[in-house]
Chains A and B, each alone.
Chain A
């Protein structure tokens, strides 16, 4: 019974609140990146417990209590995907600034033309 699971989900909800409230494009991208990172944290906390050891077989004893290795492998992929999307989104925001001259969501609606 981990209290860390609830705290990680709380960080997810804070990122969602940030996405609803932020007025700058860069803040939205930062909130999105935080959402990805806290989803990774949530994944890893679900299978963690204090008396478990890392899933590396240093000797041939198989009676130890190990942490589940599957979410860790999945999260390697998810971190890479999150980084790729953040890089692409930052490139798009550079181009938006180049064309419109502003980085504010409300200003962009006014200047759409």
Chain B
């Protein structure tokens, strides 16, 4: 029971190495075996952690401030639950098309082991090693299909994220000089005395910028649409669902260590700009995967608007939206992958008749679309209404949130035109893919309706003000839908020059680096003016 954190890191890694060594069809069932083993080991650990609250494991038995520690609390437990579920579903999704030489399974399972390690570590340099390992594996998985577009996207992703993580290293040495240790708990206890010095501020700025690159904040998100649009479908679902959340997880942890409160407004503004530019670009795109990829950016903006206040109900609203987003974005990406596989084209204007060809899967995708736009009875509604309720004191912020919601609805009206009409494409049915999409839709509906026991079980809060049967919310949703449809028909469908120009904006690598420097510059100016 005590060594379970280490087991769930190493079991997928060893299974992946064995699968790679013996290129055999029967050995590749070991992937399923390792996944079942992890689930069986994790369930008693979940109950154990619910009683005790925090579990720390010092690797090697060394002193706390000198060795490496693994720590699990309720936040990391929720993330581990989420990642095991999503990895299961994606494993079911591509199970019948395991690539012939099993390298895909090798990278996939290794990524699971490394990601579970990232969520549990309590040491700053260990976190760096895990994040770099995640970056390398993701870059290799993005270029798995080996055509020109994928290789460009993967290269851009690799280089830009690595540049971002070097700033993390520079922040790390600044922290180490003033504190003397690298353990996150000891640092957060010691740094309270010296919080107002310039060194600690510079360290915080550098580390947050690195996490911002990883989590796709406003000026530095340009790697995300290319990478998520070019990857194969299951990897896109994994990247959008989980790996971009590792940046947000790092952001929460670093915020808990340093506890600087005067940056909260700054992150709220960054969240708003992220969300707004995400929907603006999403409205103008025509490729299915690019629309979904820009949506990931805007939903992360909404999560950041929630997480910017580091405590209270707004924080929990942002956290809940993070988990919900994993479910419905994976659902949409897996569905889009199925469609692209059968139709062989990627543009929204050319795909028609999905509802007639895939009746069940269209229903599940419609569930996903209703969740992401915040319809009542689904899980997007819960988290969006928590965030909206907490912001009701400030009128401008409510307007900002509503603009973003409206943009989301417009772009999904555009997305849903694939369901109508007819098409004469011969299709094959895949049971396992429809099954995994069905499970994701089921999770959306369950979390949407049973949010009270889940929230009080996992996060110890109660939400009395989120009500599904409130007539005002229904009316508001339908009015938003109508306004979105009207705006879409009048403005977007004509495809004006401005929209064409937005669609063809390409930001080069040099400009992205300039944006990264600009981000650091803005944080330095903000911190020196406001103190």
Instruction: Please report A residues at the B interface, Cβ cutoff 8 Å.
Output: 12, 16, 19-23, 28-29, 32, 35-36, 39, 42-43, 46-47, 70-71, 74, 77-78, 81, 84-85, 88-89, 92-93, 95-96, 99-100, 105-106, 108-109, 112
Contacts and interface: CB of A to CB of B under 8 A. Distances in A.
B125 A88 contact: no
A108 B226 CA distance: 14
B508 A106 contact: yes
B170 A39 contact: yes
A81 B165 CA distance: 11
18 contacts: A12-B170, A19-B509, A32-B159, A32-B162, A32-B163, A35-B166, A39-B166, A39-B169, A42-B173, A70-B182, A74-B125, A89-B158, A92-B151, A96-B155, A105-B508, A108-B152, A109-B506, A112-B152
Interface stretch (B110-118, B306-314, B490-498, B510-518): B510-518
B129 A77 contact: yes
B173 A96 contact: no
Interface string B129-157: 10010011001100100111101101100
Contacts of B22: none
B368 to A, nearest CB: 30
Contacts of A47: 177
A89 B509 CA distance: 14
A105 to B, nearest CB: 5
A74 B149 CA distance: 36
A78 B146 CA distance: 29
B176 interface: yes
B173 A88 contact: no
A19 B129 contact: no
Contacts of B166: 35-36, 39
B163 A109 contact: no
Interface of B: 125, 129, 132, 135-136, 139-140, 143, 146-149, 151-152, 154-155, 158-159, 162-163, 166, 169-170, 173, 176-177, 182, 506, 508-510, 513-514, 517
A14 B471 CA distance: 60
A81 B132 contact: yes
Majority-rule SS of A interface residues: helix
A108 B509 CA distance: 11
Given A16-B517, A46-B173, A46-B177, A85 B136 contact: yes
Contacts of A29: 159
A36 B132 CA distance: 13
Contact of B155 (A20, A77, A78, A89): A89
A85 B154 CA distance: 12
A23 to B, nearest CB: 8
Given A19-B163, A32-B163, A85 B158 contact: yes
B152 A88 contact: no
- Closest 4 A/B residue pairs (Cβ): A99-B148, A92-B155, A19-B513, A20-B513
Given A88-B158, A92-B143, A109-B508, A100 B148 contact: yes
Contacts of A12: 170
B169 A43 contact: yes
A89 B510 contact: no
Contacts of B510: 19-23, 105
Given A28-B509, A88-B158, A96 B139 contact: no
A85 B162 contact: yes
A80 to B, nearest CB: 10
A43 B162 contact: no
A105 B152 CA distance: 10
Given A28-B509, A108-B152, A89 B159 contact: yes
A35 B155 CA distance: 17
B422 to A, nearest CB: 31
A47 B173 CA distance: 10
A96 B151 contact: yes
A106 B152 CA distance: 13
Contacts of B152: 96, 108, 112
B136 A84 contact: yes
Contacts of A39: 166, 169-170
A19 B167 CA distance: 14
Contacts of A81: 129, 132
Contacts of A19: 163, 509-510, 513
Contacts of B177: 46-47
Given A70-B176, A71-B173, A81-B129, A28 B159 contact: yes
Nearest to B177: A46
Looking at B135, B176, B506, the one whose CB has the most chain A CB atoms below 10 A away is: B176
Given A32-B163, A35-B166, A99-B147, 8 more contacts: A12-B170, A16-B513, A28-B509, A77-B129, A88-B139, A92-B151, A99-B151, A109-B508
Given A12-B170, A88-B136, A95 B151 contact: yes
Looking at A21, A46, A81, the one whose CB has the most chain B CB atoms below 10 A away is: A81
A92 B143 CA distance: 9
Contacts of A16: 513, 517
Contacts of A35: 163, 166
A81 B130 CA distance: 11
A87 to B, nearest CB: 10
Looking at B132, B173, B177, the one whose CB has the most chain A CB atoms below 10 A away is: B173
A42 B170 contact: yes
A99 B132 CA distance: 27
Contacts of B140: 88
Nearest to B162: A85
